[in-house]
């Protein structure tokens, strides 16, 4: 532990400096979503005139006897915070402005882009938000685009398949199947099962690696300042073979994630953690700090398809005196591919730039399915 004191602090310090300087910019990051202050009273009038017939005065849907349509599975209950808070205002604004089909939803949800101004749509959204009365749920705006490696702070309901293929050296690929599920207002469970494919003297060998089970909890989130902070504790049992890169001992992995969104839709995500094996003589303790900086671009006043170019800076270092830090860079592009934006893809290249001996560049790819927003095959047309 004594050894860690100097080594750890040298590692943590630059990270802390960046965190503090970012949080001091919070003042600038006010009024994230709106250019005008939404008028909730006006929103109520609009809702009572244009929406109540279908969505009902309670926000749970008008009585089935008075509505002619059959409710789609995805029909919203605005009182259910678990359903509404993960949705960003922009997702709702797209549906209200252009109608259900613009996001792969039912044609029953009409478009109001011709009837209501952009400000009026913001007003009615602000009114609908009032149906969720628990302010502790983190808001979907803070669910930033997932980076390839850096884990975000927002608790997710998603399934991700992510692959890294060696771009040089011995052919090989590592694929992770990741299931994430939020529960309660602030928590998330995660299971990650890695699957490796390696070429060993021209015969391919595939096997399961060390899996991870993790529990994340949001400690702080604020839509006004655009910030969210979460802690995660993970356990990595030695399910993989040590001959093929497995740890050979159970590893505990605590980490912290801090994400900051700016009004320009630029964002920064930090993750910092440690891998603490039960038997450090088998696998050394190590520290990592990851940063992803990116920008989300979207046409049609941010209502269209989202493109998120980003770059990750990834540092790993063993907790030993004199150990060097391995730095990698990973430029990448994430894009929403389904109309509903619940399926996303990301592609990038990870290149080592310090201690490059024995470390190869990889081509990385993932496919992400936000399953709370609908079935995989729904919402494309």
* Interface segment toward ligand HEC; rule CB under 6 A; list 50-58, 142-150, 164-172, 217-225: 50-58
124 binds ligand HEC (CB under 6 A): yes
* Interface segment toward ligand HEC; rule CB under 6 A; list 52-60, 130-138, 279-287, 295-303: 52-60
Among 7, 15, 86, 87, binds ligand HEC (CB under 6 A): 87
Could you give the CA distance from residue 280 to residue 285 in angstroms, rounded to a whole number? 6
50 binds ligand HEC (CB under 6 A): yes
Residues in Cβ contact with 363 at an 8 Å cutoff, skipping those fewer than 6 apart:
164, 165, 167, 347, 348, 349
Closest distance to ligand HEC from the beta carbon of 74 (Å): 3
92 binds ligand HEC (CB under 6 A): yes
Among 56, 110, 254, 304, binds ligand HEC (CB under 6 A): 110
96 binds ligand HEC (CB under 6 A): yes
Given a contact cutoff of 8 angstroms between Cβ atoms, the answer to whether 364 and 148 are in contact is yes
Parallel, antiparallel, or unpaired: how do β-strands 297-298 and 306-318 relate? antiparallel
Pick 120 or 275: Cβ nearer ligand HEC: 120
Given a contact cutoff of 8 angstroms between Cβ atoms, the answer to whether 123 and 38 are in contact is yes
366 binds ligand HEC (CB under 6 A): no
Closest distance to ligand HEC from the beta carbon of 59 (Å): 10
Pick 72 or 130: Cβ nearer ligand HEC: 72
40 binds ligand HEC (CB under 6 A): no
* Interface segment toward ligand HEC; rule CB under 6 A; list 19-27, 91-99, 205-213, 348-356: 91-99
126 binds ligand HEC (CB under 6 A): no
* Interface segment toward ligand HEC; rule CB under 6 A; list 27-35, 86-94, 244-252, 323-331: 86-94
Query: Please, what is the angle between helix 118-129 and helix 40-50, to 10°?
Result: 90
Angle at 190 between CA 311 and CA 270, to 5 degrees: 30
φ, ψ at 335 (rounded to 5°):
-140, 145
Closest distance to ligand HEC from the beta carbon of 145 (Å): 18
177 binds ligand HEC (CB under 6 A): no
105 binds ligand HEC (CB under 6 A): yes
Among 19, 29, 32, 91, binds ligand HEC (CB under 6 A): 91
Q: Which of 339, 301, 352 is nearest to 93 (CA)?
A: 301
Closest distance to ligand HEC from the beta carbon of 304 (Å): 15
Among 19, 32, 74, 265, binds ligand HEC (CB under 6 A): 74
88 binds ligand HEC (CB under 6 A): no
331 binds ligand HEC (CB under 6 A): no
Among 26, 56, 72, 274, binds ligand HEC (CB under 6 A): 72
Angle at 150 between CA 363 and CA 33, to 5 degrees: 115
Could you give the CA distance from residue 204 to residue 196 in angstroms, rounded to a whole number? 10
Closest distance to ligand HEC from the beta carbon of 21 (Å): 36
Residue ranges that bind ligand HEC, judged by CB under 6 A = 46, 50-51, 53-55, 69, 72, 74-76, 87, 91-92, 95-96, 100, 105-106, 108-110, 112, 124
């Amino acid at each position: 532990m004594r050894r860690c004191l100097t080594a750890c602090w040298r590692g943590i310090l630059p990270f802390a400096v960046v965190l503090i300087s970012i949080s001091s910019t919070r003042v600038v990051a006010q009024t994230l979503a709106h250019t005008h202050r939404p008028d909730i009273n006006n929103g109520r009038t609009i809702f009572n005139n244009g929406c109540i017939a279908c969505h009902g005065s309670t926000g749970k849907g008008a009585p089935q006897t008075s509505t002619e349509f059959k409710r789609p599975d995805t029909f919203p209950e605005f009182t259910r915070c678990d359903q509404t808070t993960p949705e960003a205002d922009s997702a709702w604004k797209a549906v209200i402005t252009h109608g259900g089909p613009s996001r792969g939803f039912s044609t029953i949800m009409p478009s109001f882009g011709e009837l209501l101004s952009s400000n009026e749509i913001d007003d009615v959204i602000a009114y609908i938000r009032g149906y969720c009365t628990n302010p502790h749920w983190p808001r979907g705006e803070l669910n930033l685009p997932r980076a390839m490696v850096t884990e975000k702070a927002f608790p997710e309901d998603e399934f991700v398949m992510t692959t890294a293929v060696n771009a040089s050296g011995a052919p090989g690929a590592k694929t992770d199947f990741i299931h994430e599920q939020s529960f309660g207002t602030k928590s998330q469970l995660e299971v990650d099962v890695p699957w490796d494919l390696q070429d060993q003297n021209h015969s391919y060998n595939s096997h399961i690696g060390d899996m991870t089970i993790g529990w994340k909890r949001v400690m702080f989130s604020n839509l006004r300042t655009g910030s969210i902070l979460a802690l995660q504790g993970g356990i990595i049992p030695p399910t993989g073979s040590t001959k093929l890169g497995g740890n050979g001992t159970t590893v505990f992995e605590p980490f912290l994630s801090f994400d900051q969104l700016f009004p320009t839709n630029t964002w920064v995500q930090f993750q910092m953690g440690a891998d603490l094996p039960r038997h450090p003589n088998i696998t050394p303790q190590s520290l990592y700090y990851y940063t992803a900086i990116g920008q989300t671009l979207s046409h049609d006043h941010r209502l269209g398809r989202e493109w998120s170019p980003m770059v990750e800076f990834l540092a790993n270092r063993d907790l030993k005196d004199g150990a060097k830090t391995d730095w990698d860079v990973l430029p990448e592009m994430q894009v929403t591919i389904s109309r509903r934006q619940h399926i996303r893809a990301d592609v990038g290249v990870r290149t080592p730039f310090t201690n490059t001996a024995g470390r190869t560049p990889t081509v990385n790819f993932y496919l992400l399915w936000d399953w709370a927003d609908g079935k995989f095959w729904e919402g494309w047309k």
